[in-house]
């Protein structure tokens, strides 16, 4: 439960006996797990293990990690809220981003609320993960320009103009 609340995901390796029955769940660290899809769209998990990990009370000395690929039937994955259908987002990171967004909204002189900004982002096709790269002013300017796309222009820039720029 702690992993889910702190990292947004909880993972456990499913340990089975010879008959395929579940006999144990081994907790896995969320910061070492990567969730992806292969070229055929099948889900898989990649977990980084280190020789220095404590295994049955024995500690190794090698600090270099190796990646182990796990299939979905070998992993119990409890994702938190997310946008991509693969992993959940950390509630702490989401709170940090919301606080930062609120601070940015207060710093601008244009009237803007968080829901309105998010609506503008959806209208522009901007993913929430890209908001760290953009300022609120940039999003508003992009939206304003989008509204002006239908207006006739006296002169349009050519490729040469862009190259000179």
Helix orientation angle between 114-124 and 136-147, rounded to the nearest 10 degrees: 50
Distance separating alpha carbons of residues 52 and 100, to the nearest angstrom: 38
The pLDDT profile of the chain, 165 residues, written as one tens digit per residue, is 788 878 889 999 999 999 999 999 999 999 999 999 999 989 999 999 887 665 544 454 555 678 899 999 999 999 988 777 788 888 887 777 777 766 665 555 456 666 777 777 777 777 766 766 666 667 766 667 666 666 665 666 677 776 775
Q: Alpha-carbon dihedral of residues 109, 107, 105, 103, nearest 10 degrees? A: -170
Instruction: Quote the pLDDT of residue 122.
Output: 74
Q: What is the DSSP letter of 131?
A: G
Judge residue 104's burial from the number of C-beta atoms within 10 Å of its C-beta, 0-12 exposed, 13-18 middle, 19 or more buried.
Answer: middle
Instruction: Quote the pLDDT of residue 57.
Output: 46
């Amino acid at each position: 439960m702690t992993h889910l609340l702190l990292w947004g995901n909880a993972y456990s390796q499913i340990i089975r006996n010879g008959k395929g029955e579940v006999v144990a769940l081994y907790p896995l660290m969320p910061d070492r797990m990567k969730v992806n899809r292969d070229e055929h769209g099948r889900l898989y998990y990649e977990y980084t293990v280190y020789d220095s990990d404590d295994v049955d009370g024995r500690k190794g000395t090698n600090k270099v990690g190796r990646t182990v690929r796990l299939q979905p039937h070998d992993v119990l994955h409890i994702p938190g809220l997310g946008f991509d259908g693969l992993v959940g987002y950390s509630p702490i990171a989401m709170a940090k981003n919301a606080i930062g967004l609120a601070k940015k909204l207060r710093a601008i002189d244009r009237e803007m609320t968080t829901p309105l900004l998010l609506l503008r982002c959806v209208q522009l096709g901007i993913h929430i993960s890209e908001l760290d790269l953009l300022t609120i002013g940039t999003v508003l300017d992009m939206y304003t320009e989008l509204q002006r796309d239908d207006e006739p222009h006296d002169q349009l820039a050519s490729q040469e103009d862009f190259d000179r720029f």
